[in-house]
Amino acid sequence: MKRKELNIGLFGFGCVGYGLFEVLHKTPGLKTTIKKICVKQAGKARPIPAENFTLNKYDILDDPSINVVVELIDDADAAFEIVSEALKKGKAVVSANKKMIAEHFNELLELQRLYNAPLLYEAACCASIPIIRNLEEYYDTDLLTSVEGIVNGSCNYILSRIFSDNLDYTIALAEAQAQGYAESDPSLDTGGSDAKYKLLLLIAHAFGLVLNPEDIFTLGIDRIGNTELQYAREKGYKIKLVAQAIKNADNSISFFVIPKFVSPDSRLYAVDDAFNGVITHTSFAETQFFVGKGAGAYPTASAVLSDLSALTYDYRYEYKKLHQVDAVASNEDRLLSILLTGSHDLSLYFDLFKSIEETCTRRDGSYVIGTLTLSSLKLLIKEPTVSVVLRNIEVEDKAEATAVFAGVELLDTVLGQEI
């Protein structure tokens, strides 16, 4: 099959945009030309000549010779305007903007259908890991039972520094910002929203369930305190921010983003620094593990490059699972085993638990170990002074246990008295 030549209009020339520019020039076999780059600021010093740039988006959108738009800007609202206009003009689009795609997923599906124009976004989820293409193609006929992973490089870097070097959270966060892994306002990462947007994309391609971001229960790492960290260290665990989706016994899907204790037996235990790791479990292939750099200019640019290469063969997502299954969400009754910590008496939350294994009330930090439903957890975390770390997901049957705990040791049930 003859490869198509791509004339690219690029929006954004930050770290990833420049990284893509460099990567394309080192990939001579790919017949691509960046014809014009749209940026916001005029006169800014840039490493390539000024004639490559424009401030007018219509210099790209109205140019019939440009057949691919690559969108790499930070503003999700502006990105949606650019992407939707490009699709309406029949141009293929590559985007790395997970927030924009997640917030407008249904609209973008419809635009692709109406205007017969593809939108690819491998770079929007896990950077260098080709997870979306694998979910879309490799698992087309295999029945996925669960997908879980570390999908945010910034949080993983922060938590890795805390555990490997015993750093304070604020120092680890400052390091992540200095390395370019976290923004000056890191709340999108540390609050869990970035992972939530990525999980939405994974669920759509894995299970054919289209969600809104607000449907996904999300708890970030910004509440984690000394009691949880000490517990993890005593047991030999690490804490990771894990995004997870599980097919229930009735074929409904449960999903959430929650900090989780990870044992050394888990494949996610050794995923440190800015790396991402994703575990899939299927009916036939059983457990598979993907790992790769999840943040940074070149890993993200490599994913954009992969999408561009696919477009030279007129590739597009077929969204096969959306047409194969009638998936429904079922989150409220999912049972979770958690460690709840706080600086005050936690007994007023006891009624939210199905069962309690251990409690301790102290002046320097109280805790509760117990099991509760996700709907009760949603009520619990409305109190901003408490912190929750997931211990286990209670399973419905042996088949589900295989999916949920594939290669993962069940965590201990008793908090060390020396805490």
Sign of the alpha-carbon dihedral angle for 96, 155, 291, 299:
positive
Judged on CB neighbours under 10 Å (0-12, 13-18, 19+), 90 is: exposed
Sign of the alpha-carbon dihedral angle for 204, 215, 254, 100:
positive
**Residue 54 near residue 67, CB atoms below 8 Å:** no
Q: What six digits make up the tokens of 84?
A: 């939707």
- Both ends of the chain: CA-CA distance in Å? 64
Q: What letter represents residue 20's amino acid?
A: L
Give the residue numbers marked as catalytic: 198
Nearest to 37 by CA among 28, 26, 20, 23: 20
